[in-house]
Amino acid sequence: MYIKRAVLGLAIILSSATFAVAQEEVSKSTADHSKFPILQKDFQSGPEVTEACLTCHTEADDQMMHSIHFTWDYEHPETGQRLGKSNVINSFCGSVAGNEPRCTSCHAGYGWDDMSQPAPQEANAKDCLVCHDKSDQYTKLATGAGHPPMQAKGKTITGKDAWAVDLKKAAMSVGMPDRDNCGNCHFYGGGGDNVKHGDLSSALYNPTHDVDVHMSSVEEGGEGMVCADCHVSDRHEWAGSRYNVLASDPHGTGKPGEARHAASCQSCHGQEPHPTNIKGLKLNDHTDTLACQTCHIPEYARGGVPTKSMWDWSTAGRLDENGKPIHEDDYVSSTGQHLHTYLSTKGNFDYQEDAEPYYAWFDGQVEYTTYDRKIDPSNTVDINVIHGAREDGRSRIWPFKRMEGRQAYDTVNNNLVYTHVWGPTTDTAFWTNFDWAKAIDAGMKAANKPYSGEFDFVDTYMYWPITHMVAPAENAVDCVECHQQDGRLANVAGVFMPGTNTNGPVGLLGKALLLLTLMGVVAHALIRTFSRKSKGGHHD
Amino acid sequence: MTKRIVKVYPRFERFWHWMQVVLIMALMVTGMGLNGVHSLIPFGPAVMLHTLAALALLALWIFATFWLFTTGTWKQFIPKIEGMVSVARFYAYGVFKGEEHPYEKIFWRKHNPLQAATYFVLKWFIFPAIWVTGLLYLTYNFWAGSNSVVAITIIANLHLFAAYVIGAFIIVHIYLLTVGHGFRQHVKPMVTGYDEIDLTPEQEAYLETNEPGRLKPIKR
């Protein structure tokens, strides 16, 4: 009897296993690009591959032409500011203008070497492979204006020694973007791993569950999601913007089956994400003031990759006695990696790992201190201003990485300046010549902007909304982290929070009342004891 | 007038009292934790416990109110000026001289005038203040708009103040149990239900006939 059952069980297991295998054999996609003769060619350049792609995907280049990944130009719908990488100045390497072939190595196109012109308009100047390569061996040269390395010379965009990419293999492998397609650029923003964002690092290629519940593998207990699962695309435009953020999402999940093009937590988790019990109800009460990220991303730069937290350009240019650039590597990460704390080319740095965010009301609007804005150099200048206040009803308290900077500005015109830092062959580039006067002059010329010729350095803050690296629920920020005196949200205005001010006027009054009562009772008892021993007296 | 051992606190009243003790203690300890006075209980569990204890206490009060009005016991809590001065004088002076308490507990009036006045203020002002503000506090998100910071600040502070007043009451309440016959003697009736009461012959006769269970037989 038992044997019969065991045999039957085994048979069921085996048959279901074969069924599963058979299922996997059916391709998810209706097209296997390795079978397309037009892709089975020994391509000599990136644009050649793009031409082949466009023979079938006839509208792709037009879609890409309007995408911010290609234009690096963005007109803010609410403030009207002209933003995008081609315009803004940040507190990292400063600006793209003046440093094109280095910075445009991460452009989703080929050959953009002059920021004063729009990105190259030719149909084959789009880089299809950087997003769609699935062979994991396509890359871009760090200094090649977006072109891939065709020989083992130089560095790649992730800082590795370059190799000769196999364009045929890459072209035949194409599919939908996964983590490395996005991460090879976005994890390395600012010139290195996690330098810029704080919540986007190489730790997310294959994160553990405690680093990211969405992107960790199913075996890890995660969801195995890739970037594009949240950053859904429509016509090569992606949900999720750092200039115009969906800071609160009252639309929620939408109607059943409704396609939502929003990279918000609410688009999947809805407006009342916590379970309907007495605890969940109280937690749901917080969603009108807090972004999900505020509790569910307790720290950023988790997973062993530090983020740059301070960059002081003013100290750059110090050379050794032989006139050679120097470096100091005094920061040691949790994984034992030594990181630069001083470079002659870049100045002083500091880093943070598992860092507690800075919190502020945020309605999603980010205004940049572009070169045309006057700054007040006597104060710390906000490179980007985070808008929002409690009263507007759509702001939420958000977590940010607050980057501290010290960078060059024009002391006569009081504006931030573009700097020409990269340029191995020019006599003006700072990283080659260590001369700020020349580097700023050349940067402003490259950006085609007026410059007085006088400069100094100013302290800056730059704010980066934290939204990735969502931790498991049990690691969410504990109530008491905020509900205590000088808690995490102590500096956020317009908030009443229980437990933060036990010694307010009423608290002190109450404590005084208790104290006086106790003193009265004790005094009464003492007088009773020391006066004639009480014998009578009924009742309380 | 005869002194008899009479059941003055029926079972429900004793249950009411001791449940209040437990729940108010829970509310005091958790509430002080939430206010930041101490950090003995983690904030999240303290919120849960505070909420559950408050809801239980509200339910208890609804039953108690029903009981007070259906049994007529509510009359016990109506304050009277008469005799209040002599009780106040006793606590402020006479008690030190070893005088007898001026108030004799009678069947329909188990509280002395000062006690009755205290309970009147407590039941009509302080308790309503704490549960009205508490409910508003708890249901904040049902009524609040984005400009309700001032409202919730006032509500929370009223709630806190009422809590401190109740705290002061508890201190005095417990202390006064030690005055006179002593703590054990004073707590005992609230445990057993029985206390020594002066009964008029009419009351004694009524109880002997109609509610013999409330009278303990006279010891020979």
Is B140 in CB contact (< 8 Å) with chain A? yes
Is A496 within 8 Å of B156 when comparing Cβ atoms? yes
Kindly state whether residues A299 and A410 are assigned to the same domain.
Answer: yes
Which residues of chain A have a CB within 8 Å of the CB of B144?
288
Partner residue facing A502 (CB), from B36, B105, B145: B36
The secondary structure element, H or E, covering residue A201 is none
Mind listing the pLDDT tens digit for each residue in A381-422?
999 999 999 989 899 999 999 999 999 999 999 999 999 999
What three-state secondary structure class fits A462?
A: strand
pLDDT bucket at A536, cuts 50 / 70 / 90: very low
Top-confidence residue, A11 or A229 = A229
Q: Is the per-residue pLDDT at A486 higher than 50?
A: yes
Q: What is the pLDDT of residue A24?
A: 60
Amino acid identity, residue B115? Q
Test mutation, B95, B143, B153, B155, chain A, max A CBs within 10 A: B95
Is A502 within 8 Å of B35 when comparing Cβ atoms? yes
Domain that holds residue A364: 73-106+176-477
Count how many pairs of residues, chain A against chain B, have C-beta atoms within 8 Å: 146
The CATH architecture of the domain made up of B2-214 is: Up-down Bundle (1.20)
Kindly state whether residues A61 and A209 are assigned to the same domain.
Answer: no
What's the CA dihedral at A150, A156, A160, A166 to 10 degrees?
-30
Closest CA to A282 of B46, B41, B69, B17: B46
Average pLDDT over every residue of A128-154: 95
User: How large is the ipTM?
Assistant: 0.87
Kindly state whether residues A123 and A245 are assigned to the same domain.
Answer: no
Cβ–Cβ < 8 Å for A477, A295 = yes
Angle, to 10 degrees, between the axis of helix B43-71 and the axis of helix B11-35? 150
Which residues of chain B have a CB within 8 Å of the CB of A486?
none
Kindly state whether residues A195 and A229 are assigned to the same domain.
Answer: yes
Q: The pTM is what?
A: 0.88
Is B36 within 8 Å of A499 when comparing Cβ atoms? yes
Q: Which residue has the tokens 């201003």?
A: A385
Q: Could you tell me the CA-to-CA distances from A98 to A25, B71, B179 in Å, in that order?
A: 51, 90, 89
Is B100 in CB contact (< 8 Å) with chain A? yes
Kindly state whether residues A344 and A425 are assigned to the same domain.
Answer: yes
Partner residue facing B152 (CB), from A478, A485, A496: A496
> In angstroms, what separates the C-alpha of B70 from chain A's closest C-alpha?
27
For CA atoms B50, B53, B58, B64, the dihedral sign is negative
Residue A521 lies in a domain: no
Is B152 in CB contact (< 8 Å) with chain A? yes
Kindly state whether residues A159 and A83 are assigned to the same domain.
Answer: no
Partner residue facing A279 (CB), from B44, B101, B103: B44
Is A479 within 8 Å of B47 when comparing Cβ atoms? yes
> In angstroms, what separates the C-alpha of A268 from chain B's closest C-alpha?
23
Residue A509 lies in a domain: no
Cα–Cα distance measured from residue A408 to residue A418, given in angstroms and rounded to the nearest whole number: 8
Residue A6 lies in a domain: no
Which residues of chain A have a CB within 8 Å of the CB of B175?
521, 524-525
For CA atoms A530, A531, A532, A538, the dihedral sign is negative
Q: Is the per-residue pLDDT at A44 higher than 80?
A: yes
Is B36 within 8 Å of A500 when comparing Cβ atoms? yes
Which residues of chain B are modeled with pLDDT < 50?
none
Q: What is the pLDDT of residue B145?
A: 78
Average pLDDT over every residue of A236-247: 90
Kindly state whether residues A366 and A297 are assigned to the same domain.
Answer: yes
pLDDT bucket at A468, cuts 50 / 70 / 90: very high
Kindly state whether residues A316 and A192 are assigned to the same domain.
Answer: yes
Cα–Cα distance measured from residue A60 to residue A58, given in angstroms and rounded to the nearest whole number: 6
How many structural domains are present in chain A? 2
> Between the ranges A252-256, A276-280, A487-491, where is the mean pLDDT highest?
A487-491
Q: What is the pLDDT of residue A540?
A: 41
Residue A512 lies in a domain: no
Is B192 in CB contact (< 8 Å) with chain A? no
Out of A451, A477, A503, a domain closes at A477
Tokens for A253, please give them: 């999940």
Q: What's the whole-number average pLDDT of chain A? A: 92
> In angstroms, what separates the C-alpha of B22 from chain A's closest C-alpha?
20
Is B101 within 8 Å of A537 when comparing Cβ atoms? yes
Minimal-distance CA residue of chain A relative to B152: A496
Kindly state whether residues A155 and A192 are assigned to the same domain.
Answer: no
Is A510 within 8 Å of B164 when comparing Cβ atoms? yes
Average pLDDT over every residue of A508-533: 89
Kindly state whether residues A159 and A285 are assigned to the same domain.
Answer: no
Kindly state whether residues A428 and A462 are assigned to the same domain.
Answer: yes
Partner residue facing B165 (CB), from A288, A393, A513: A513
Tokens for B156, please give them: 């929370």
Top-confidence residue, A237 or A11 = A237
Kindly state whether residues A171 and A181 are assigned to the same domain.
Answer: no
Partner residue facing A499 (CB), from B35, B164, B178: B35
Cα–Cα distance measured from residue B162 to residue B169, given in angstroms and rounded to the nearest whole number: 11
Q: What is the pLDDT of residue A22?
A: 52
Is B105 within 8 Å of A288 when comparing Cβ atoms? no
